[in-house]
Chains A and B, each alone.
Chain A
């Protein structure tokens, strides 16, 4: 059973890697796949707050927007390389995260959710109204695509050529997005089982007990916020250099809700679940976008489905669809012993 699941996983990965090289590849499908991967990064980033720390963040998209505008503006004005922009955008996102988080993370529950919500709405208002900086509702068109310049390597090797590769079409973005998802995934799974991750989970389960065990609630929450918002900004930077156009409309509240849906669908705190949730909801959204107008309904009504999904999941599985226990816990001798005994009793 487990072996089959593993084989399936590798087969899927191989298929995903090979797809863009196949002759029957489709640009639209590739585009949707890249979009799914952008949302996977967002979902993994958001997951830290409601999933690991039990803090409902309703303003995640604000940081996505900050990342996107940081990348867009730096590209337009300074023609900066994407590889330099990524760390800057991430830092900028994390900076705003800490600025918002430091005074608000002492709040708990609904109040925290409301403040994050208000912040993201203020970000959209700012992007819409500060025309001198952001061109307002017109958005920023004509952002240069990503290019990879490794001429320095050529010089190093003594080759007198320009080794420069400009990203055109969906295929290079597809692979770059894959790398991004893999990196964030790797970092998140490692963090989940680290001291940091355990502190977050402790805060989620019982803040008071965590504090009395020596977990510095405030410090760990600020770190969680910074990491989460940094990842949001990373996805934003990628978005800006991929769609080559950004506008304030792309960062409205519904996006926050959509990402939250993905996290909840996958199971709060479940990293793999967040990936599955993103794939399902984006695919569903694309299907509904095509299907709804055929039924004579505006395409926006697909949110009706999202709303219903959330209500139904919360009704029957208030912790999310697939809840998960950290890998290290499953490896603990006690749990292993317990599982073995249960299995033995079953067979007996």
Chain B
């Protein structure tokens, strides 16, 4: 690989992820070496329980790695302070928000916290970023609504707007389409693709919408039980890297269609 002219924003070196319980290490995945370029739309895929969330938590410093290193913008992740990290990496999580009376605008504005002063006063620049985020995610008409009044699809767009307002190079989304129907799932993928194209940010999602991901994203991170690989989706397909994602007898990867299909002999 020729890394010289590529702008790598996120990279892991010999990363081992998992949990440390007292003196026992529970290793989820080891020798994880992935690198993600600036301005790419990346999907992290793998079956349930393989460790996608653990990997996401580790590269976003929510959880410590067991060994190895994570680099964010060429700097070791462990050397980032919370505040510094907040200006480089933003998150969209799956957990429900606590019940409060926040309006959509206020929720998105919270994305500016790493930049605001001690009483959270919004500067001209903060407002510009917030309005830009609102415009890009097309949630302007919802600005005054309370977030609990929104549909799941609308709320997801608002949470993405909040991450955008945080103005970071990398945005990581944990299963952003988990509660959405086909139509809204597609719209979220489309929105994220557009954001990558217009803002040159790097967006990494974990998802179970594999067929859709293969169609839309630029790169894949594939988590199998024995290895974690990443790269351009077409290269990975050519190398037959998707074949082992699921047990073969039910779902198989159809290379011609570039989709997973139900096994014929089932």
User: Do A and B share a complex?
Assistant: no
- Give B contacts to A, CB under 8 Å: none
